[in-house]
Amino acid sequence: MLKIENLHATVADKLILKGLSLEVPAGEVHAIMGPNGAGKSTLSNVLGGKPGYEVTGGSVTFMGEDLFALDPHERAASGLFLGFQYPVEIPGVSNVQFLREALNSQRKYREEEPLSGGDFLKLAKEKAGLLKMDMEMLKRQVNVGFSGGEKKRAEMVQMGILAPHFAVLDETDSGLDIDALRIVGEGISAIMRSPDKGALLITHYQRLLDEVKTARESVLADGRIVQTGGPELALRLEDEGYDAVMADA
């Protein structure tokens, strides 16, 4: 579903990704862990098409298509979702308005009929329920006055409504308390755990992996994947830290 081969990328003329290769098939939630500055957020921003990130080598194939041949909005409409480490606030725009416009813009790109107001509200209520979020929260301005946990839950509601084929989630557990972490983990599993979907879950902590139950886990260090394994890899990182694992790699 997502195939990254020998990817090199720079930010402000500094080389961050240095030959990163990774393949995530359909039906898999794959976790990436790594020390600060390893390139995890750079990877997610490159995949999403954020300005300021220059790809200098390698390739990324998404569902058989050259990802870099698509503009950011085309990547989204093709089924790629990017969850931000720090979701932004959009004053003056309600969540409901934002989400309906986003969904119908993608449907238009795919030559599908737009959802009516009533059908959209029904869908939004269903997805908000998965994240234990009251619909009144979705009537508020996008992320304005939201706590860290509320922002992440609102973003997962957005993911549920847009129903992507593949999600790249950059430190979704950041700012979550224990209860919010469980709710978000359950939401990720409910939305993305499917034979025809996939996800790349970037995190520092074992606790989110316990909730989502990832199949494979990789360590990213100095701009490349240095080790991949099963759930035991994150447990070892928790016990021994990155230095021991990278020494073996």
Q: Counting every residue, how long is the chain?
A: 249
Sequence-separated (6 or more) residues with CB below 8 Å from residue 98? 90, 142
Instruction: Give the pLDDT of residue 249.
Output: 60
Instruction: Give the pLDDT of residue 171.
Output: 87
Instruction: Give the pLDDT of residue 2.
Output: 97
Q: Are 29 and 214 in contact (CB under 8 A)?
A: yes
Burial of 224 (0-12, 13-18, 19+ CB in 10 A): buried
Distance from C-alpha of 198 to C-alpha of 128, rounded to nearest angstrom? 21
SS3 content of the chain, % helix, strand, coil (to 5): 40, 30, 30
Q: Which CATH number fits domain 2-248: 3.30.870.10, 3.40.50.720, 3.40.50.300, 3.40.630.70?
A: 3.40.50.300
Instruction: Give the pLDDT of residue 99.
Output: 94
Mean pLDDT per 10-residue section of the chain, whose length is 249 residues: 97 95 95 90 95 96 96 94 90 94 94 93 93 89 90 92 95 83 89 93 83 86 91 82 72
